[in-house]
């Protein structure tokens, strides 16, 4: 049976996708194999697809790998190729994180509106979580 994914697991899978080589074919099966190889836990395509962050990152990398996004990569000498690939990976990661941050900000606005609508005060929202001893 596939393992339930924690937030850390989801981040690890998204990181694998951020690192995915643009010249290598991407499929759900290959991603499952990469997760098993790099993080030593078995999962399934279905488990991965249920997670919005993973699914979105997969679709973005799939589009990039399939060549649907025009690549304006100039021919580089081997000495610069690794640096250029690293820079490209970091740019993709930054763009993904910006989109995820925007989605979280939008979710926060919905929660803020609903809290106001149902009479929850900012003080109530800012209360500290109960400690483990008090439960």
Please count the CA atoms within 13 angstroms of the CA of 25 that sit on its side-chain side. Answer: 5
* Measured CA angle at 79 (ends 76, 82), to 5 deg: 80
Q: Report yes or no: 2 and 42 within 8 Å, Cβ to Cβ.
A: yes
| Spacing of C-alpha 29 from chain mean position | 18
pLDDT at residue 69, rounded to an integer: 56
pLDDT at residue 1, rounded to an integer: 53
User: Distance (Å, rounded) from C-alpha 102 to C-alpha 87?
Assistant: 23
With 0.75 as the threshold, say if the pTM is over it: no
Number of helical H runs and strand E runs in the chain: 6, 0
Task: Report DSSP state, residue 85.
Answer: H
Q: Report yes or no: 31 and 58 within 8 Å, Cβ to Cβ.
A: yes
pLDDT at residue 33, rounded to an integer: 95
Which residue is listed with tokens 């990039």?
64
Please count the CA atoms within 13 angstroms of the CA of 83 that sit on its side-chain side. Answer: 5
* Cβ neighbourhood burial of 13 (10 Å; 0-12, 13-18, 19+): buried
Q: What is the pLDDT along the chain (135 residues), one digit of tens a residue?
A: 566 899 999 999 999 999 898 888 999 999 999 999 999 889 999 999 999 999 999 999 999 888 765 556 667 788 888 888 889 889 999 999 999 999 999 999 999 899 999 999 888 988 999 988 765
pLDDT at residue 110, rounded to an integer: 93
């Amino acid at each position: 049976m596939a393992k339930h994914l924690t937030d850390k697991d989801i981040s690890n899978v998204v990181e694998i996708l951020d690192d995915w080589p643009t010249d290598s074919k991407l499929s759900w099966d290959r991603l499952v194999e990469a997760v098993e190889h790099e993080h030593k836990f078995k999962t399934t395509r279905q488990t991965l697809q249920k997670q919005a962050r993973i699914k979105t990152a997969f679709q973005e990398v799939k589009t990039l790998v399939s060549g649907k996004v025009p690549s304006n990569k100039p021919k580089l000498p081997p000495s610069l190729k690794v640096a250029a690939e690293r820079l490209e990976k970091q740019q993709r990661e930054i763009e993904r994180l910006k989109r995820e941050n925007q989605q979280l900000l939008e979710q926060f606005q919905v929660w803020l509106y609903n809290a106001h609508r149902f009479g929850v005060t900012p003080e109530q929202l800012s209360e500290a979580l109960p400690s483990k001893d008090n439960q």
